[in-house]
Structure 1
Amino acid sequence: MPRRSISIFDGNVFMVTDNSGDIDQSPTALTGFFAHDTRFLSTWNLSINGEPLQALSIDDRLNFETRYFLVPGEPTHYVDAKVSVIRQQTVGASLTEHLTVINHCPTSIDLRLRLEVGADFADVTQLGRDVTRQGNHYARVEGERLLLGYRRESFRRESLITSSQPAHVDEHGMTFEIRVEPQQEWSTRLHVATPSLTTFGMLSGQRRMDESITPSRSRQEIVQELDDWLNQAPHLECDYEPLTTAYKRSLVDLAALRYRPVISPELYLPCAGLPRYMTVIQRDFLLSGLQVLPFKPELAATALIGSAVGQGNVLDDFQEEEPGKLGSETRYGEAAAFEELPQILYFGAADVTPLWLVLLDEYERWTGDQTLVRQFEWTARRCLDWIDTYADALGNGYVWYQRRSPAGLANQGWKTSWDAICFQDGRLPDLPRATCEIQGYVYDAKIRVARLARQVWSDPDLADRLEREAAQLKQRFNRDFWIDDKQYYALALDPDGNQVDALASNMGHLLWCGIVPPERAPQLAEHLLGPKLFSGWGIRTLATDAARYNPIGYHTGTIWPFDNAFIAWGLRRYGLADHAGRVTQAILDAAPYFRSRLPEAFAGHDRHLTERPNIYPNACSPHSVSAGAIPLLLRTMLSLNPDGDNLLFDAALPSRIHNIKLLDIPGRWGRTDAFGRSR
């Protein structure tokens, strides 16, 4: 079987192995057993009589568990193997491996099993970087237990490895000398515990060393929780199998990515994506909350609560904190604990604050939960104050961003890579920058909060002011960002007011925000679905004629499923159902090539050049906002919109989909159904 990596995960605890279940030590590769931004196992290699194991088949249907069916030896000579091995690896609060050796011989057989074990306790944010570690590693044999650890001042991480069968334990692993009778089997249960941590990375004195960081759940509890999650979601009936399969895959991944963060253990928030972003990224869970609101409104509620916990109170250049601004990322690894990175609570995102306001209103429209909206009135007012003061760095009514932390992000919209915001000729604009989509989010936020102020907070003066400001922003934006000779919106403005003229997908977000005058929407649609941006598999992040275009550049030519889903939603808002249908169909066509699990991004090559969409090598998968893309595309196809205590729908389906039934859609109306047929 060809070598490939296998991932299992439950919340922010995950494991990446090769296709025999082994982990090879690597200072750069994202393989290992991880929790809370730390690699707790960097070596986990099994051999029999000195020979490695090779995979016959792999059962990885469950996100948290994989079974490997193996034989010893190299692929050239294991056809007549007399022994087979089953490894069942399960992650939850810890790692458990059930190891079974089966003797197929008519006589007994003596075997030497060796499990090499190691832990470098590397910070996931530093893998692949040349970093000098300042702490000390240690290993101790405690009877039949192996304790591996790393300590730097008060920061400590430890892995405790045990076996249910007797073993010879040394500082590098475990050895089992076993005899297996004819046609019989031998088995053991291996367990790796990660001791409890406090918020700032120290061992908690309140728990035993064999307790885990993450609250423990049994396998049955994990399965039952997933079943309950799926049963409570709307049921999809459709004659197009790629959609039904991708919909279920999305729901499963969104459930499995949830975890309880150390700073807010009462919440259940989705991690952003495996492997590099298995933590709280506020932008991602606000966007995924918005995407799945018609399906899982509780995810939106936790996103709102979780983001509000991290609202800024002071000016802090290192963390880029400002009063009223919402945080963007939280990390628990060594680099954050010692402020080598600002991400212990980082505020380097200019779009999170207006997106939170957008979700607050949309959540109330769907659920009618005015209690939560009243609870967050003060938070919302502080968000508005930040938008109008600190965010408006040049005093011209736009939200600007500029890195203040030496370890912070240069770009602070959703396209965070250093070269994502560029002129058509490849030049990078000076800072600060005002990207177009963030102004759209602000416009939408002010319109929406005006509604809440009038209907929930009983503050008509605030509502009137916000509506005036939104109208002024719309007029100003359409004057300053519209490029007359190219008939599309600038990607951004530089500090001198120059239009950053690269053709990019960002302008597609302006449609779902509603800041585009109706007469300009068809022109945007033609650009978005034109050959420079649309590959046939989806809309690229950057047009092919831009100097920095690269079909496998992170934000300079790849296709992001979540980006396409929001653009399709915006196209439908402006009545451009055919254009929205083309985007939807393209993403659905791509999904089966990724086993129905849409990755963070994939390559932007033209469809006529490739029989299948090409991978983006470093894409996260699963990825929360990519998982949310399918539900949002469903909402778009059915045009689901709340209207008071009623749900309105008006289906417009892509040509390959003939019938859709979405049953038990939750909302302020209770539960209701929506239907669609091709026209």
Structure 2
Amino acid sequence: MKDLVSILDGNTFLVSDRTGDIEPSYDFPTGLFSFDTRFLSKWMLTMNGQRLHALSVDDNESYRTRFFLAPGEPTHYLDAKASVIRNRAIVGSFEEELTVLNHAGEEVEFTVRIEMAADFADLFEIKNARQKVGRTTVSMTDSELRLTYRREAFHRETVISSSTPATVDPAGMTFQIRVPRNSEWTTTLHVSTIVYGARGEDIRATLPYGGSRSADAIRAEQQELIDRAPKLGCDCEPLAGAYRRSLNDLAALRYESIALGVRLLAAGLPWFMTLFGRDSIITSLQVLPFLPELIPPTIVMLAGLQGHRVDDFRDEEPGKILHELRYGETAGFEEQPHSPYYGSADSTPLFIILLDEYERWTGDVQLIKRLEPHVRAALEWMDTYGDLLGTGYLCYQTRNPETGLGNQCWKDSWDSISYADGRIPGFPRATCELQGYAYDAKIRAARLARTFWGDPAYADRLEREAASLKQRFNHDFWIADREYYALALDADGRKVDALSSNIGHLLWSGIVDESRAGKVVGHLLGPRLFSGWGVRTLAEDQSRYNPIGYHVGTVWPFDNSIIAWGLWRYGFRDEAGQICDAMLAASRYFQGRLPEAFAGYARDLTDYPVEYPTACSPQAWSTGTPLLLLRVMLGLEPQGEHLIIDPAVPPGMGRIELLDIPGRWGRVDALGRSRDPDEPLGG
């Protein structure tokens, strides 16, 4: 996505090239999107029949961008007698102010044309190159172009208008203009995206933030959220820049739920601008110490959509927490199962972990009591439907072989779970980190049962089950001759022996025997897994290793933040600092915005982190990574009514000061300083 430019606000986002143009594509989601539908698939500017070229792009704000353009080939810029500024924003709807500047010494006539089209493609149709089933119609007036899509009750519209007169035709608008010498001409184009509900109403208009808003209102809302976060002062500029960028992106990634009309954190742009169980939970864990008020809407939404029946199409089972929720055409007509879809085995234990961690930070006992039935149902799912083989281990196999996900762990691409020699195991699969999550969920649920639900017998049972799971896990998953935990167990209980980053999640969960923790750490920070920029998803000597393979060799910032948290939990503070240092050093090359993933090349080979070609950016759990790294470096841990602060700042990072950390204790400050302030960041 390096050569693409995006803007977003709420449920609407736009992705274009660096001139601001959108060209029809089923290869990548360029266009104007809202609620999983593409409302503009073509938006191409020409002047006197020529495409324009970018001089500069100002994209410092998430919801607005300015493109400075000139006609002709780039080599002709010095001779250009005109230039164009496209000033665009997502302000509920999409607006573009188009300005033509005449730099000639005389009046000049220009033909300005914008080609416009809307294919109303669902995101899944773009991913899978599927064509539309419904019918699109076009109607025009002197100042408006209306494109309408209908498929039975599914009804969407794109309405485009101009503030100045235009010649409107089915494919766009043309402006014949005369611009005096050293003067300019301006028009404003307004694009409304209309999502019709079952009663014919515009759903967007019913949402608190759904209508048009001014840029000032958006800026004020985002700034208000940023101002509530703790204030960071530090000597490390990469950390300061990443923190600022993370807060800005978190403010931008909030979207509105149709079901509840509340603001939730979307998983990432462009593919995942919606609620994801796993992604939303992990992002919430990262964000919790900084903006705890963002968390309850996600918890309540996930609880409200908890599975209550067996539905093979949606991979739904009683007590299961959803994987993904979509609002588009393919979900509505059940061509995809995402209304919602429950194809993840980890979101259910992670839901319990988040709820407990939220109470530990905030003391919100009412939410804990309110959601007791949901936690009990989630635990019941773990012990029944989640234990497909009756072995006491969480495992997965889709109920829907047509459209369901094969891998239902966080590494959900088809080849992400393999033996060291590259073979792919059959189903069901019990990946190692799932067992860690299950262990942690039971320990945490026991605390909730004993402290808040008045059920000590249930708490005792959960603790016994957790202890048994830990003992069995350390026997069944440990590969003694290699001294690391297997990636998974296959359907026959054989160890899937690839060395992967998943073992770092085991440290976070606490399921690793203390006697083996050092061996695990040695692998995580050893040259096979650690690239110098972070821990790879798969060790470089494994058969399927590919430094630019999605889950088989790339470095994922969120993954590294969880690993750093795990290292901290087991007392490996220096090693946790190595990962924090590497991530922050990498962030400098991404202007402070860590992407979804980047290549696993060794640091001494490339000297800079190589971009993964289609990484989401911003992506929520990458955006949350610098925040969790801050927690790790400052050693922040809630304990009763107090916040424990036990900093271990990596060498060369200098002073870190975090003021007004919110929680049940009110607000407190944390200060840490590295032992060797003269050592440069990144070694």
TM-score bracket, normalised by the shorter chain, equals: over 0.9
**What secondary structure sits across from 2:238 in the alignment?**
helix
Following superposition, the deviation at residue 3 of structure 1 comes to: 9.2
> Does residue 424 of structure 2 align to residue 425 of structure 1?
no
Conserved in 2, the CA contact under 8 Å of 1:195 and 1:210?
Answer: no
Following superposition, the deviation at residue 179 of structure 1 comes to: 1.5
> Does residue 351 of structure 2 align to residue 356 of structure 1?
yes
Conserved in 2, the CA contact under 8 Å of 1:329 and 1:347?
Answer: yes
Quote the residue 1:379 is aligned against: 374
Cα deviations by residue, 1:392-432 (Å, 9 ceiling, x for unpaired): 11112111100111201000011100111111111111100
Cα deviations by residue, 1:640-670 (Å, 9 ceiling, x for unpaired): 0011111111111111211110000000001
Q: How does 1:464-475 map to 2 (within 5 A)?
A: 464-475=460-471
Conserved in 2, the CA contact under 8 Å of 1:196 and 1:204?
Answer: no
**What secondary structure sits across from 2:300 in the alignment?**
helix
Q: How does 1:446-595 map to 2 (within 5 A)?
A: 446-595=442-591
Following superposition, the deviation at residue 34 of structure 1 comes to: 1.0
- Distance in 1, matches of 2:448 and 2:208, equals 43
Q: How does 1:198-237 map to 2 (within 5 A)?
A: 198=197, 204-205=200-201, 214-237=210-233
Q: How does 1:269-288 map to 2 (within 5 A)?
A: 269-288=264-283
The correspondence for 2:319, drawn from 317, 324, 330, is 324
Following superposition, the deviation at residue 76 of structure 1 comes to: 2.5
Quote the residue 1:252 is aligned against: 248
Cα deviations by residue, 1:364-411 (Å, 9 ceiling, x for unpaired): 000000011111011111111111111111112111100111201000
Quote the residue 1:54 is aligned against: 53
Quote the residue 2:160 is aligned against: 161
- Distance in 2, matches of 1:232 and 1:260, equals 20
Following superposition, the deviation at residue 106 of structure 1 comes to: 2.9
Name the CA shift for 1:224/1:210 in 2 (closer, same or farther; >3 Å): closer
Quote the residue 2:681 is aligned against: none
Following superposition, the deviation at residue 56 of structure 1 comes to: 1.3
Moved over 4 A (4+): 206-213
Quote the residue 2:440 is aligned against: 444
Tell which deviates more after alignment, 152-161 or 362-371.
152-161
| Equivalent AA in structure 1 for residue 252 of structure 2 | A
Conserved in 1, the CA contact under 8 Å of 2:142 and 2:166?
Answer: no
Conserved in 2, the CA contact under 8 Å of 1:194 and 1:212?
Answer: no
- Distance in 2, matches of 1:257 and 1:7, equals 12
Following superposition, the deviation at residue 196 of structure 1 comes to: 3.0
| Equivalent AA in structure 1 for residue 188 of structure 2 | R
Name the CA shift for 1:129/1:195 in 2 (closer, same or farther; >3 Å): same
Name the CA shift for 1:475/1:3 in 2 (closer, same or farther; >3 Å): closer
| Equivalent AA in structure 1 for residue 663 of structure 2 | G
Following superposition, the deviation at residue 207 of structure 1 comes to: 7.0
Quote the residue 1:346 is aligned against: 341
**What secondary structure sits across from 1:557 in the alignment?**
coil
Tell which deviates more after alignment, 422-431 or 293-302.
293-302
| Equivalent AA in structure 1 for residue 17 of structure 2 | D
Following superposition, the deviation at residue 29 of structure 1 comes to: 2.4
Following superposition, the deviation at residue 12 of structure 1 comes to: 3.4
Q: Percent identity?
A: 55
| Equivalent AA in structure 2 for residue 433 of structure 1 | R
Tell which deviates more after alignment, 338-347 or 297-306.
297-306
- Distance in 2, matches of 1:602 and 1:203, equals 45
**What secondary structure sits across from 2:74 in the alignment?**
coil
The correspondence for 2:605, drawn from 605, 609, 624, is 609
The TM-score, its normalising length taken from structure 2, stands at 0.96
Conserved in 1, the CA contact under 8 Å of 2:196 and 2:203?
Answer: no
Following superposition, the deviation at residue 217 of structure 1 comes to: 2.4
Quote the residue 2:593 is aligned against: 597
Q: How does 1:38-49 map to 2 (within 5 A)?
A: 38-49=37-48
Quote the residue 1:27 is aligned against: 26
How many pairs are equivalent? 674
Following superposition, the deviation at residue 107 of structure 1 comes to: 2.1
Tell which deviates more after alignment, 362-371 or 70-79.
70-79
| Equivalent AA in structure 2 for residue 341 of structure 1 | Q
Name the CA shift for 1:211/1:255 in 2 (closer, same or farther; >3 Å): closer
Conserved in 2, the CA contact under 8 Å of 1:94 and 1:191?
Answer: yes
| Equivalent AA in structure 2 for residue 543 of structure 1 | A
The correspondence for 2:310, drawn from 315, 329, 334, is 315
Following superposition, the deviation at residue 155 of structure 1 comes to: 1.3
- Distance in 2, matches of 1:4 and 1:423, equals 36
- Distance in 1, matches of 2:666 and 2:303, equals 27
Q: How does 1:21-170 map to 2 (within 5 A)?
A: 21-170=20-169
- Distance in 2, matches of 1:453 and 1:134, equals 51
Name the CA shift for 1:206/1:29 in 2 (closer, same or farther; >3 Å): closer
The TM-score, its normalising length taken from structure 1, stands at 0.97
